[in-house]
Structure 1
Amino acid sequence: MKKALSILSILFMTLSYGQEVKQIPQINVSGEGKVKVIPDEATIEVTVETKGNNAKDVKKQNDIKIEAALKFIKKMNLAPSDFKTQRVALNPQYDYEKKKHNYNATQTIEILLKDLSKYDELMEGLVDAGINRIDNVTFQSSKLVQYQSEARKLAIKEAKLKAEDYVSVIGQKVGRAITISDNTQNYYPQPRYMAMKTMEMADMSVPRETLAVGEINITANVTVSFILE
C-alpha cells in the first residue's frame, strides 16, 4: 500500500512539473504626483551658546539668556504646545595650548510659527534676548495630510495614463490593478531665506522682507501593475 502511494505521489509530481505555468499578461508602470504649495508655517530651531572656563558660570549665563528668550516667546502669544526645549548640553573642552579646560553650554528651543508674518519680529526679539544661533528653519504646510492625499491620487492617475499610452499601439486595454507599491520618500525642503538685518542697519520706517518663502513640492511616487485585456 505504501509503495502504491509513493508511485502515485511521484506520478502526480511529474504531471505537475509537466504542466505549463499560465502567465498573466500585465504591464508595470510608475507614476508621480506633485502638488505645489505655498507654506503657511515654519519650524524654527534656535540655540543659546555660551563659553567660559567655569562650568557653573557658563551654565548660569546660558540659563539667563534662555529664560529671556522663553519670556519673549510667551509675549508673542504663541501657544505653549508650539515651543519646547529640544536639547540641553554642557561639555568640557580641553585647550591644549593653555593646558586647561573650557566649557561650552548650549540650549536649543524648537518653535512652531503658525503665522509667518510674525517671523521678523520673532527672530529679532530672540536675538535681542540672547539667541546667538539659528540652527534650522523649515517651511511647511498645515494641510500636509490633505496635500499628500492629493499627490497620491495624481500619481495613480499618471501611472494609469502611462499604461494606456503604451498599450494603445498594440490593440490591448488596461484592466484592473493587481499590485500598487508606494515609493514615496518623505522630504522636507529647507527654506530659502535672506540674512536678517541688524537693528542698526534697518530703517524701521520701511517695510522689510527677509524671507523668500517660495513654494514647496509635496510629491508621491507609485509603481502599479495592471492586467492587460
Structure 2
Amino acid sequence: MDWKKDYLKLVGLGAIVVVAISVAAYVYSYTQTMQPASAFTVSGEGKVVMVPDTAKFTFTVLTQGDNDPVKLQAENTKTSNAIIKYLQDQGVDKKDIKTEGYYLNPQYTYSVCRTGTCPPPKISGYDVRNTLSVKTKDFTKAGELISGVTELGANEVSGVELTVDDRTILENQARAEAMQSATQKAKTMAKAGGFRLGRLLSIDEYSPGMPIPMYGYGGMGGGAIDSTMPKEIAPAVDIQPGSQDIVVNVTLRYEIK
C-alpha cells in the first residue's frame, strides 16, 4: 500500500509542475504582447490665443476696534450691503458676487511683566472681516467698480484676474492641435525610418497656461487699500484685457511594427 501512496504523490507533484510551467509560459507570452519590445515617443504642442472676456477681483470690508462684537458686525454688514447694492445697481449679476470669507476675531492686549507671573492677555476689541469676490464681463466698468467699492468702504482690494469665463473650449482646441501635430510627426518619423506605426500605447499631457494676474493699488502684496487711507474718490483703474496663449503639450508613445 505504501508504494501506491508514493506513486500518487509523484503523480500529483508532476501535475503541479506542469501547471506551473504552463502559467509561466502564458504570463511571459501575455507580457510580451502587452509590452512591445520596440516603441518610440513624439511630442506636439497646440497653442490658441485667448482674449480675456472676464475680470475678477476681491475686496474686503474690515471693521475693528469696538468691544461689542455685535455692534461691529452690524456696522460691517451695513457697509458690505451698501457695496453689494452698488455693484448690482452697476449691472453686476447677483450670482457674480460671492462671499469668500467672513471672520470675527478678538484683539488682545498683553501685559509687560519683568518679574513674577504675567496675567493672561485681555480682549481689547474685535475685528470683523468680510471678503467678497466680483466677476464682470464689462471691462469698461471694471476699473469703476474697483474705485466704487473703495469709496463705499472696502478697506482692501486684491489683485484683478483676467480670464475667459469658460476655458474648456479653447483648451480643447489647443489639445486637438497638439494631438494633430504629434500624430503627424509620428507618421513622418515612421516613413523616414522605414517602419509602420503600431498601437498608440500612452498619452501624456501638460498644460502650462495660467490666468493673467494683475494687481490692485497695493501691488504684489495683494492688499490695495487699508483703513487708514482717506475716504476720497479714487480714480478709476484702467483695465486692459490684452491676450494670453493657452498652450497644451502632449507626448505620444507608439509601438513600432
| TM-score, structure 2 normalization | 0.72
More strand by share: 1
Aligned to 2:92: 78
| Aligned pair partner of 1:96 in 83, 103, 110 | 110
Confirm or deny: 8 A CA contact 2:159 2:216 kept in the other structure.
no
Please tell me the residue identity of whatever aligns with 2:19.
S
Gaps of 5+ in 1: 203-207
Unaligned ranges ≥5, structure 2: 1-10, 113-120, 225-230
Question: How many residues align structurally?
Answer: 223
What residue is the counterpart of 2:6 in the other structure? none
- My pick for the range that moved more, 187-196 or 149-158, is 187-196
Aligned residue for 1:132? 155
Paired-residue identity, %: 24
SS in structure 1 opposite 2:207?
coil
Matches within 5 A, 1:1-150: 1-12=11-22, 21=32, 23-54=36-67, 55-96=69-110, 100=122, 101-150=124-173
Q: Which has the higher helix share?
A: 2
Report the structure number with the largest CA radius of gyration.
2
Partner of 1:104: helix, strand, or coil?
strand
Question: What are the superposed Cα offsets for residues 1-43 of structure 1, whole Å, 9 maximum, x if unpaired?
Answer: 5244224225535766887946353212333322221101112
Q: With structure 1 as the length reference, what TM-score do the two structures score?
A: 0.79
Query: What CA RMSD, in Å, does the superposition of the two structures yield over aligned residues?
Result: 3.2
For 1:147 and 1:153, the matched residues in 2 are separated by: 10
1:216 Cα deviation after fit: 2.3
Matched, 1:151 2:161: no
Shift of 1:130: 0.8
**Deviation for aligned residue 1:88:** 0.9
- Compared with structure 1, are the counterparts of its residues 27 and 53 closer, same or farther at alpha carbon in structure 2 (3 Å cutoff)? same
Q: Distance in 1 between matches of 2:188 and 2:138?
A: 45
